[in-house]
Structure 1
Amino acid sequence: MKVLVIQQKMIGDVLTSSILFEALRKKYPAARLDYLIHRHTAAVVEHNPFIDELILFDPIADQKPAAFFRFLKSIKKQKYDIVIDVYSKINTALITRFSDAKLRISYDKWYTRKAYTQTFKNKKKSETNAGLAIENRMQLLQAISPDFPVEIKPKIYLTSEEKEKAEQRLLADGIDLKEPLIMCGILGSSEAKTYPLPYMAQVLDFIVEKTGAQLLFNYIPKQVEAAGTLYDLCKPETQKQIFFDIFGTSLREFMAITSFCDALIGNEGGAVNMAKALDVPTFAIFSPQIKKQNWSIYENGTTNVSVHLADFSPTELDGLTVSEITKKAPELYKLLTPNLIFAKLETFLKSNSEIKNNL
């Protein structure tokens, strides 16, 4: 049996959808399981033992008509028995339909449903603390067999060499691994998904005041100016605890460094999902336009915690579309003041042993 799973989206989505491979491999050990993803997301699923091959799609080069047609032919040539399209957009629906697989599975959307042999409507309410992002993906496997589990936790597979290199980097740059170390998700994937920097500075000040933890910033070189602005907004006592020059120069290095952290705190997004997959406790600040019930994966009130404007002002977003909320994000974010977050954040810090020892 040959199975292709398609997830052409962001890092968090690719990581989350990788759970399908563990479920499929355990039920069908001899199956051929391939994963079609965007090239820049491959790092989060490298060394995954349940995936046979990564098929890397370049959204710029491969989307051109001639190149896309060649790509479609290459997929058809593989003669997949099953294609599971987790993305379910026009582009991936074409890939799925052109594959000629006998079983073509996806979500039920009016503009793509004709490409598939079986579709599923997204659940509206979660059955477990895994969250809807997990449960809706696992639901797709019901088209193959009814006895797949409801949920599986995403995992990241680091090599011993990657971990050793990260540890040596931290030690060489002055990190004391016997003291609390926190990765800070200081920036979202866009401005609309970024907690205001003056507010984030107050959050970092609070963490250092309560724990004396060492802080790392998650940013990439092109974001150094924004990271520097945040650093300048922090109190001098906090600045002393920030190791500004330690950051992952690649996604694999970021994950290896994060694996040594006692928590990741900051903007919800791919970094939070990666930390969860590494079993690192997380405290996530959701942007107003993201539905918390979809992406609060494995939230349990202790090791995985999150906050959202709707937690404190339940009616503030009523009647607004996602597009409208996104446009108003800067204004809405101002309502999620740090003082609203502090009580939940302090409970999180106290709930995680490596941090609370310094409280």
Structure 2
Amino acid sequence: MKILVIQQKMIGDVLTSTIICEALRKEYPDATIDYLVNSNTKPVLTENPFFDHIVEFKKEYQDSKKAFYAFLKKIRETRYDHVIDVYGKLESNLITLFTGAPTKVSFHKWYTQFLYTKTIKRSSDSITNASIAIENRLRLIFPENRITAEITRPKIFLTKEEKQKAGEFLESNGIKSKTPLIMISVLGSETKKTLPFAYMAKMIDVIVNTTGANILFNYIPNQEKDARAVYNLTMPKTQRHIHFDVFAKSLRGFLAILSHCDSLIGNEGGAVNMAKALDIPTFTIFSPWIHKKDWNMFEDGETQISVHLSDYLPGLFLHKNGKELKKKSLELYPYFKPELFIDQLYNFLNKNL
């Protein structure tokens, strides 16, 4: 049997969807399992044993109809028996259709359901602490009565050499293993997913004052100006603990460095999901417009904690749907003062450092 799993979204989604491949590997140990993802997300999948091949969806396929058609022909030649389309957008709709696979499964959408042999309706209520994101992905494989038993965590696999090299890199930058090391997800993927800079700076001050930890900032090159703005808002004492210019030159390098951290704290996003996949404790701050229950994976109140403005000021969210909250996100963020969740942060630091 040849199985194709398609997930072309961002890193967090691609990583989370690896649980589908893991479940398929257990269910069909002799099958060939391929995982189709965008090229830029490939580093979180390297060394993963739960699929046989990574099928890269390159940017050129989006830019050139000719290149995309050539890709579709190649996919068809593979002759897949079973396709699971987790993405469910136009590109993956066409890929699924072109496979010619006898069995094609995806999430239910009234306008694309005819393309698939089976569609699954997402549940909006979780039945475990794994999160809706995990549970709904498993529904693409298992009947409802098996979901709880089949829960598993996304995993990232690093080699000993990668970890050793990252440790040596940290040592060479004066970061000793005896001192706690905390990664700060200082910025979200967009402004609407980023705690106000002053609030983030105040939180980092609290972390350093409480733990004396070394601090690394997680940001991408085009966010350096904003990351520096947060740094400049922290106290001089705090700044002496922040290794602003210590960062990896690749995503794989970042993962290896993250594996040496005692925790990751900050804005919800891909970095949080990567930390959880490396079994690193996380303290996550959700944007006001993101539904926490969708992505607070395996929250246990100790090693995995998340906070949302609605936890403290639910009245701000009455009679507002997702679209309204997204539009008002920047208006709601000023209410999300660190004082609201500071006690939870203290408890998290005490338990995990």
- Is the contact made by 2:138 and 2:147 (CA closer than 8 Å) also made in structure 1? no
Bigger drift between 310-319 and 58-67 goes to 58-67
Aligned residue for 2:113? 113
Give the Cα–Cα distance (whole angstroms) in 1 for the partners of residues 90 and 315 of structure 2: 34
Distance 2:199 2:148 in 1: 43
Paired residues, what number? 353
Change (3 A) 1:63 1:91: farther
Counterpart in the other structure of 2:21: 21
TM-score, normalised on structure 2? 0.96
1:288 matched to 2:267? The reply is no
Which stretch of structure 1 is more off in the superposition, 159-168 or 58-67?
58-67
For 1:57 and 1:225, the matched residues in 2 are separated by: 31
SS at match of 1:271: helix
Of 232-241 and 218-227, deviating more is: 218-227
**Structure 1 unaligned residues grouped into runs of 5+:** none
The answer to whether the Cα contact below 8 Å between 1:255 and 1:274 also exists between their aligned partners in 2 is yes
Please give the alpha-carbon distance, in whole angstroms, between the structure 2 residues aligned to 1:241 and 1:313.
33
The aligned counterpart of 2:260 is 260
Other structure's SS at 2:316 match: coil
Structure 2 CA distance for aligned equivalents of residues 330 and 346 of structure 1: 26
1:197-244 residue CA offsets vs partner (Å, 9 max, x unmatched):
111000000111111111100112222211111111000111011011
Distance in 1 between residues matched to 2:221 and 2:147, nearest whole Å: 46
Consecutive unaligned residues of structure 2, counting only runs of 5 or more, are none
Q: Percent identity?
A: 51
2:241 aligned residue = 241
Partner of 2:173: 173
Equivalent residues in 2 for 1:273-312, closer than 5 Å: 273-312=273-312
| Structure 1 equivalent of residue 161 of structure 2 | 161
**Root-mean-square deviation (CA), in Å?**
1.7
8 Å Cα contact 2:135-2:147 kept in structure 1: no
Deviation string 1:47-75 (CA, Å, 9 cap, x unpaired) is 10111111111245445322222222111
Task: Report the residue type matching 1:266 in the other structure.
Answer: G
Deviations 1:307-349 (A, max 9, x none): 0111111131233333332222221111111110201111111
Whether 2:206 is the aligned partner of 1:200: answer: no
Give the aligned partner of residue 68 of structure 1.
Answer: 68
Tell whether 2:232 aligns with 1:232. yes
In the superposition, the TM-score normalised over structure 1's length comes to 0.95
Give the SS at the match of 1:167: helix
Q: Distance in 2 between matches of 1:312 and 1:207?
A: 21
2:89 is equivalent to residue 97 of structure 1:
no
Mean Cα displacement is larger for which, 59-68 or 102-111? Answer: 59-68
| Match of residue 183 from structure 2 | 183
Aligned match of 2:3? 3
Question: Residue 139 of structure 1 contacts residue 150 of structure 1 at CA under 8 Å; is this kept in 2?
Answer: no
| Structure 2 SS opposite 1:255 | helix
Deviations 1:170-189 (A, max 9, x none): 00100121111100000111
Tell me the amino acid that sits aligned with residue 159 of structure 2: T
Change (3 A) 1:149 1:73: farther
Residue of structure 1 equivalent to 2:123: 123
Distance 1:114 1:97 in 2: 10
Q: CA deviation at 1:148?
A: 9.0
Q: Is the 8 A contact 1:90 1:112 kept in 2?
A: no
